Amino acid sequence: MSKTASRPTTNAPSRSSTNPLLAAWRTPHGLPPFARIAPRHYGPAFKAALARHREEIAAIGANPARPTFANTLLALEKSGQLLNRVADVFFNLASADTSPALQDIERKLAPVLAAHWNAIQLDQRLFRRIEELHERRDSLKLDAEQLRLLERTHTTFVRAGARLDAASRKRVAAINTRLAELVTAFGQNVLADEQAWRLALDGDADLAGLPQGVRDAAARTAADLKSPAGHVVTLARSSIEPFLQFSARRDLREDAFKAWVRRGESGSKTDNRAIAAEIVRLRAELARLMGYRTFADYSLDDTMAKSPEAVRELLDRVWAAAVGRVAEERAALTALARNEGGNYRLEAWDWRYLAEKERKARYDLDEADIRPYLQLEAMIDAAFDTASRLFGLKFKELDDAPRYHPDVRVWEVTTKAGQPVGIFLGDYFARPSKRSGAWMSSYRAQHKLGKGSKPVVVNVLNFARGAEGAPTLLSLDDARTLFHEFGHGLHGLLSDVTYPSLSGTNVSRDFVELPSQLYEHWLTRPEVLKRFARHYKTGKPMPESLIQRMAAARTFNQGFATVEYIACALVDMDLHALETAEGLDVGAFETAALARLGMPREVVMRHRIPHFQHIMGGYAASYYSYLWSEVMDADAFAAFEEAGDIYDRKTAAKLKQHVYSAGNRRDPLEAYVAFRGRPPRVESLLKKRGFGGEVHRLSTLGVEGGQTPDR
Sign of the CA dihedral 30, 406, 387, 505? negative
Based on CB atoms, which residue is closest to Zn ion, 1 or 259? 1
Rg (CA), the chain: 25
Lateral strand order in the sheet of 456-463: 393-397, 409-415, 420-429, 456-463, 439-444
Based on CB atoms, which residue is closest to Zn ion, 459 or 557? 459
The residue of the chain with the least Cβ separation from Zn ion equals 516
Q: Smallest distance, Å, CB 439 to Zn ion?
A: 7
Residue 342 and residue 248 in contact, taking contact as beta carbons nearer than 8 Å: no
Cα 436 from Cα 347, distance rounded (Å)? 25
Q: Smallest distance, Å, CB 647 to Zn ion?
A: 23
Residue 10 and residue 503 in contact, taking contact as beta carbons nearer than 8 Å: no
Pairing of strands 456-463, 420-429: parallel
Q: Smallest distance, Å, CB 385 to Zn ion?
A: 21
Based on CB atoms, which residue is closest to Zn ion, 20 or 426? 426
Q: Smallest distance, Å, CB 488 to Zn ion?
A: 6
Query: Catalytic residue numbers?
Result: 485
CA 62 to chain centroid:
39
In this structure, how many other beta carbons lie within 10 angstroms of the beta carbon of residue 366?
17
What does the angle CA 384 – CA 389 – CA 395 come to, to the nearest 5 degrees?
A: 35
| φ, ψ at 318 (rounded to 5°) | -75, -35
CA 456 to chain centroid:
17
CA nearest neighbour of 426 among 371, 372, 380: 380
Q: Smallest distance, Å, CB 546 to Zn ion?
A: 28
Based on CB atoms, which residue is closest to Zn ion, 266 or 517? 517
* Element spanning 151, H or E: helix 144-160
Based on CB atoms, which residue is closest to Zn ion, 459 or 516? 516
**Residues binding Zn ion (CB under 5 A):** 1-2, 513, 516
Please compute, for residue 353, the number of CA atoms within 13 A of its CA located in the half-sphere on the CB side. 27
Based on CB atoms, which residue is closest to Zn ion, 19 or 625? 625
Based on CB atoms, which residue is closest to Zn ion, 95 or 516? 516
* Element spanning 410, H or E: strand 409-415
Cα 383 from Cα 524, distance rounded (Å)? 11
Based on CB atoms, which residue is closest to Zn ion, 241 or 513? 513
Q: How far apart are the first and last CA of the chain?
A: 24
CA nearest neighbour of 691 among 515, 525, 570, 555: 555
* No. of helices (H) and no. of strands (E), the chain: 28, 7
Q: Smallest distance, Å, CB 563 to Zn ion?
A: 20
| φ, ψ at 257 (rounded to 5°) | -65, -45
Please compute, for residue 603, the number of CA atoms within 13 A of its CA located in the half-sphere on the CB side. 29
Cα 130 from Cα 145, distance rounded (Å)? 16
Residue 41 identity (one-letter amino acid): H
The three-state secondary structure class of 549 is helix
Sign of the CA dihedral 254, 257, 263, 265? negative
- The one-character DSSP state at 708 is -
Q: Smallest distance, Å, CB 510 to Zn ion?
A: 12
Please compute, for residue 439, the number of CA atoms within 13 A of its CA located in the half-sphere on the CB side. 20
Q: Smallest distance, Å, CB 493 to Zn ion?
A: 15
Q: Smallest distance, Å, CB 388 to Zn ion?
A: 22
Based on CB atoms, which residue is closest to Zn ion, 105 or 507? 507
